[in-house]
Structure 1
């Protein structure tokens, strides 16, 4: 199975100078770090991307936040340039446990965790389980609840069927290598139109069968029903930032999720899709700063 190579797919990787590789919990993690020139940043932010993505998802937002905060972004297991498989697999709990081990190795204690889509579910799991103690969680297009209606049953079932089919990742990778197909897929599935640099990164990753297998495996192991049940135990303040043109997760889902936690708030971005933080990173950075200045 082909995997993204740092010397090939990563040759022109966004913010490559901020990258390093760290061994933790049996994995070799790709980590990017950003910080202001001043020695002491006011807070540390951990960035967790969504399914099928990697650190390129933060290519503009991370440096913007890094002007004011200490920012750590990682490629999650099965994604990007991180290699190895966590002890608990690609489930929410398994991913959260792996991230907690990495934070221990890095000696990083994030005051805020920002998660996009499935990354927000991992952030919630970390806080619920007490393996991280952030002062706040910010979910961008957060996937915290089961998909509405029939999709709640069909989507996980289809993902598991694809996961056990060894040919599926290779077929998806071949499609992603078709010129123009990744951009069309991103718009159809997310409602977002992102820049050419972002599309190129997604195409480079999804053109490898290992990235496709990681995304499928993550979706197949995802237990959002269990997370929904545990959200009542989440005491960490949560800000959800959600585009009203999101085709992946409806705005109604975000409203319900904000109401399900003890201290939840929703901020709506008009005209933006599931990749809103890639469409208008300056706007999202301003929302994050305003929230953190009030909370941290």
Structure 2
């Protein structure tokens, strides 16, 4: 009995230390990379938004476990010369509140971000989404066809796939994993792990100098962000299976941009196929480019947005 009590006390002490380290890590991350924009309240949720530039409205939606800083590093400043750019943190990520159960899927996120953009005066913006954000943009176009002027999916998952969910997400998307594994990750995984992982995301190109410092790897390791991202990733395939039969309903000008060497989101399965599912869609393949064209081919992506604006009669 005494041994059991000692073990219980040791376990409690370790867990108290873990929660303290997790909270300290989160506080450091938020202090070094605070929110740069403003907050709008949508159905009781605070959505973080950065607004820059002037011109036709352009909403930009980041990918998995990201935040507005990903798109503000290179691409948004380029486009701010031509557009009023609205960068939005997806629900549960960056500095936006998590969406409630039933509203955290890509359709629910699209609706919340659409309402946030409307509060900022963007009634019918061009919508650009990178990676998972591209799936949200596609849901926006399908479910709210009269609330956007044009669509720009960048390296976007769009069609069902048969590869298994990563082990990390299989664990952290469960109740036990969210309660136990996530605090352990936040407490004991250093920011340098995320910085090294960025090299794989950018491959075959290197991550740009200064990107990690701008992006804030610690923001992605916060408990709320890890839980939201895991839940999003775990349910995405089923959501895409339900959404993809409706791409033929999309009638706005659509410019698709994707690197042919993307090991994260397959070019042919997702973008070549998508270009045949949306009438009039134009696909710009980027030979040799990986999953992050908004950085390594930013001007090409910007040119696609400009073409979309012209086709929509906004330029």
Instruction: Identify the TM-score tier after normalising by the shorter chain.
Output: 0.7 to 0.9
Tell me what 2:274 maps to.
Answer: 257
| Secondary structure at the counterpart of residue 210 of structure 2 | helix
Q: Choose 1 or 2 for highest CA Rg.
A: 2
Counterparts of 1:293 and 1:4, CA distance in 2:
48
Q: Do structure 1's residue 275 and structure 2's residue 285 form an aligned pair?
A: no
Counterparts of 1:104 and 1:250, CA distance in 2:
33
Counterparts of 2:160 and 2:144, CA distance in 1:
23
Normalization by structure 2: what TM-score? 0.80
Counterparts of 2:107 and 2:211, CA distance in 1:
29
Summarize the Cα distance change of 1:213–1:4 in structure 2 as closer, same or farther, 3 Å threshold: farther
Tell me what 2:132 maps to.
Answer: 118
Tell me what 2:8 maps to.
Answer: none
Match of 2:303 among 273, 286, 296: 286
Q: Do structure 1's residue 230 and structure 2's residue 246 form an aligned pair?
A: yes
Match of 2:59 among 46, 63, 66: 46
Q: Do structure 1's residue 246 and structure 2's residue 251 form an aligned pair?
A: no
Deviation at 1:141, TM superposition (A): 0.6
- Whether the aligned pair in 2 keeps the contact of 1:4 and 1:208 (CA below 8 Å) is no
Normalization by structure 1: what TM-score? 0.84
Counterparts of 1:220 and 1:92, CA distance in 2:
12
- Whether the aligned pair in 1 keeps the contact of 2:261 and 2:289 (CA below 8 Å) is yes
Match of 2:232 among 204, 211, 218: 218
| Secondary structure at the counterpart of residue 114 of structure 1 | strand
Q: Do structure 1's residue 9 and structure 2's residue 19 form an aligned pair?
A: no
Deviation at 1:189, TM superposition (A): 4.1
- Whether the aligned pair in 1 keeps the contact of 2:191 and 2:217 (CA below 8 Å) is no
| Higher mean displacement: 118-127 or 79-88 | 79-88
| Secondary structure at the counterpart of residue 263 of structure 1 | coil
Q: Do structure 1's residue 162 and structure 2's residue 193 form an aligned pair?
A: no
Q: List alignment gaps of at least 5 residues for structure 1.
A: none
Tell me what 1:185 maps to.
Answer: 197
Deviation at 1:188, TM superposition (A): 2.3
Tell me what 2:7 maps to.
Answer: none
Tell me what 1:63 maps to.
Answer: 77
Q: Deviations over 1:147-170 (max 9, x none)?
A: 2xx31xx22897455311222323
Aligned length: 284
Counterparts of 1:158 and 1:185, CA distance in 2:
13
Summarize the Cα distance change of 1:122–1:226 in structure 2 as closer, same or farther, 3 Å threshold: same
| Higher mean displacement: 188-197 or 67-76 | 188-197
Please tell me the root mean square deviation across aligned C-alpha atoms, in Å. Answer: 2.8
Deviation at 1:258, TM superposition (A): 1.1
| Secondary structure at the counterpart of residue 193 of structure 1 | coil
Tell me what 1:101 maps to.
Answer: 115
- Whether the aligned pair in 2 keeps the contact of 1:26 and 1:84 (CA below 8 Å) is no
- Whether the aligned pair in 1 keeps the contact of 2:253 and 2:311 (CA below 8 Å) is no
Q: List alignment gaps of at least 5 residues for structure 2.
A: 1-18
Summarize the Cα distance change of 1:295–1:102 in structure 2 as closer, same or farther, 3 Å threshold: closer
Name segments (4+ residues, structure 1) moved above 6 Å. 3-7
| Higher mean displacement: 184-193 or 207-216 | 184-193
